[in-house]
Every structure is written in C-alpha cells, then in structure tokens.
Structure 1
Amino acid sequence: MTFDTTSEDVSALEIARSLLHAADTDIIRFFGFFSADCVFRMGNNDPVEGSEAIQEWVASYLGSVAGMHHAILEQWCDGNVIALHVNVTYTMNDGTTFTLPAVTRIRIENEKVAEYSIFMDPSPVRATR
C-alpha cells in the first residue's frame, strides 16, 4: 500500500522514485542522479560529500549484497524536498534475505540529488561482511 501526500512538485518526486528504482536495478544509473557536491548520509555514519566519495562509501557498504529492492510505503513532497518511507529487502551474496524499514530524505536541485539522507539501522547489512 502506498500513501501519496505530495504537493504540486511532481518532478522532484519522480526523480526521488527513479533514484530508488535505479538503486535496485542499475547502480551506475543510481550514481548518475547525484550532483558533484551531493551530501550523503546513512544512519549515524558521518556525512559523505561528493559523488566519487559517495560511490566509494556505497561500494563498501554493499560489498556483501547481491541485490536489493525498495518498496515505497509512503511518500511526501514539499517543493524540492522528498521523504519516502520504505521497506528495503536485501539479498545477500549467500542468498539470505531480510527487510529493513527506512525513511529517506532527498533534496533535489537542478534535477540532481543534492542531499540524500537515509534513516535506517544498517547494522544487519554490516554484520554479514
């Protein structure tokens, strides 16, 4: 079930939804959504700034992950800021799967992701490394 409480700025929401779809299906395309000076933060980790640094961080984080799928449960958009309540199902390299709840906050500027924060406990993914 998806709840939609969006404002009139559908393009920012479409970019955010496309970003998550790319994370699930095409990681190279996923990285193409970020601005050169994007700020990325997962959970309580320190913020990572810049598309190259983000790619390195994500590659390290996803090292034991064979795939993932985001199911959007709720979405909210106010201008260029989007919040998505999701369940993320991870498939690990050994074939096991588990689902984690998360909320992402995404800020879009000039049709690129300028800020991407993920509020989630990533410890189950890290524990499989």
Structure 2
Amino acid sequence: MTTTMFPGTRSAVIKEVIGLMEKMDLEKVLTHFTEDAVYCYANNPPAVGKQAIREATTSSNLESVKAISFNIKSLWENVEVVICELEINYFRNDGSVLTLPCTDIFRMEGDKIQEMAVYMDANPLSAAPEKKEETLIDIAKNLMASVESNNVDKYLSYFTEDSAYIIGNNPPIIGKQAINDFALPIMQNFSKVYHEVHDMWLLGEDTVVAQLDVTYLRKDGKMFKFPCMNIIRFQDKKVREYQAFIDANPAFS
C-alpha cells in the first residue's frame, strides 16, 4: 500500500519525535520507528530493530544527565528524507549545562522512521565538566534553555522572590508565584518555544541584554516567529527584573 505524504508532514513527525526525546520517553519515541529501523549514533555501530535501538540508547553515557533540550536551527524535508540541524543542551546533575552541535538524517517509510543517523562528537559527555564560575550570560542562556525544555520549576529557580517580570505591553508581574501563574498557561499552550540568540551583552555588573528571535510552535501545528529584545537585571546571580520587548499577540489569536 502506498502512503501519500504532503510537504511538511514528515517534518512534523520529526518535531514530535524530538519533543518526546526531550521528555526522555523512549517507548513513545520507538512507536515512530519501523520494526526493522536502523539507528546510527556518532561512531558507534548501527543498531538494527527496535530492541537493539532500545539497548543502544539506554546504554549511552547519560548517567550524569537529568534533562535534555533541543534547539532546532534548520529543518529540511526532501521527499522521504528529513535533515535536522540542531544544538543539544545536556543539563547535568551537578547543575552545569553542556551544549553540543548535531545534525540528524531521518529516512522515512510513510510516516515512520526507517533510519536515523546522528552526526556529532559526543566525547564531551563522558568528560568531567570544567570547573568555572558561572557568568550572568551563562545564567541568561540557561534561563532560556529551561523554557525550551518546558521546565517551569527550573525557570522560576532563576528569579528572586520579589522579582519583576514584564512582557510586551503587559503590566509588571511581581513575585515568583505571580510569574508562575502567568508563565504556566503560556507553556501549556505551546508544544515548543525556541530562542535564536543573535547577540548577548553584559552591561555593567548586573545587566544582560539579548537580541533574539523567539519561535512559538503551537499545539495546533502553527508556528510564529517574533523579533525580541530582553533586558535582564540580576541581584546576587538571581533575576530581579526581566523585561521582554516583543509583540507575541498573533501567537495567541
């Protein structure tokens, strides 16, 4: 039986799979693979079949990792092939974040993955993290990464108890609980939020300014991309004021 796929359909499948990978839900990921699928990870030998893929992925060196998020930079679909260029953020148990570049190639049979090839240097995962002082720019990047991994608790941990949170033309939101009440419904409306940072500056001793694009992937499949400027003011390495200059209203219409 021949399955007709419309342009973009296979890319949507891959985005769903990547979302499941972020949740570390291997069993649901495997439902998107054919029974005889081939999985090639970096320099490791290919794993053939769902059970072999299960064993290959569960035996990888992720013992020191508590969460993963993916920043998709480019996504191409060409007939039965989907190519995905991305950055992988590994949130380690010691609180550090390791970001590695990666490109994946997916060969499809209908809406199932017949072959997945992962091209990356994964050696830094097994290396001990360098001990270095976390900068305010590091914290700002980790703050955005927590949004991309849809981790509200992690996101709120970066704020002071009485922090001010200002988005677009909305009135200031004061305090962690109020920020939680504002941010949680937004994160639940979207299956994914991406930040494409163009520039980030440390101004003075306590202020980070970021120029970026924010992409919202709504649960109905619609995608919205908006220019944004963030001003983040810190106190003792916690966010005391966060202001985002953005008009994201079309994403909520």
Please state which band the TM-score falls in when normalised by the shorter chain. Answer: 0.7 to 0.9
1:81 aligns with 2:207: yes
Distance in 2 between residues matched to 1:38 and 1:97, nearest whole Å: 30
Q: Which has the higher contact order (CA 8 A, sep 6+)?
A: 1
Secondary structure, counterpart of 1:66 in structure 2: strand
- Corresponding position of 1:126: 252
Distance in 1 between residues matched to 2:251 and 2:182, nearest whole Å: 14
Select the structure of larger CA radius of gyration.
Answer: 2
Query: Sequence identity, in percent?
Result: 25
Q: Which consecutive aligned stretches of 4+ in structure 1 deviate over 3 angstroms post-superposition?
A: 60-63
Secondary structure, counterpart of 1:17 in structure 2: helix
Secondary structure, counterpart of 2:135 in structure 1: helix
Number of aligned pairs? 119
RMSD over aligned CA atoms reads 1.6
Q: Is the 8 A contact 1:105 1:118 kept in 2?
A: yes
AA aligned opposite 2:212: V
1:37-116 mapped onto 2 (5 Å cutoff): 37-78=162-203, 79-116=205-242
Following superposition, the deviation at residue 47 of structure 1 comes to: 0.2
Deviations 1:75-109 (A, max 9, x none): 11112100101111111011221211101100111
- Corresponding position of 2:156: 31
Q: Is the 8 A contact 1:87 1:100 kept in 2?
A: yes
Distance in 2 between residues matched to 1:83 and 1:32, nearest whole Å: 20
Identify the range of structure 1 (19-28 vs 76-85) with the bigger mean alpha-carbon deviation: 19-28
Secondary structure, counterpart of 2:138 in structure 1: helix
Q: Which runs of 5+ in 1 are unaligned?
A: 1-9
Q: Is the 8 A contact 1:72 1:86 kept in 2?
A: yes
Q: Which runs of 5+ in 2 are unaligned?
A: 1-133
TM-score where L is the length of structure 2: 0.45
Q: Is the 8 A contact 2:224 2:251 kept in 1?
A: no
Distance in 1 between residues matched to 2:212 and 2:145, nearest whole Å: 12
Q: Is the 8 A contact 1:24 1:69 kept in 2?
A: yes
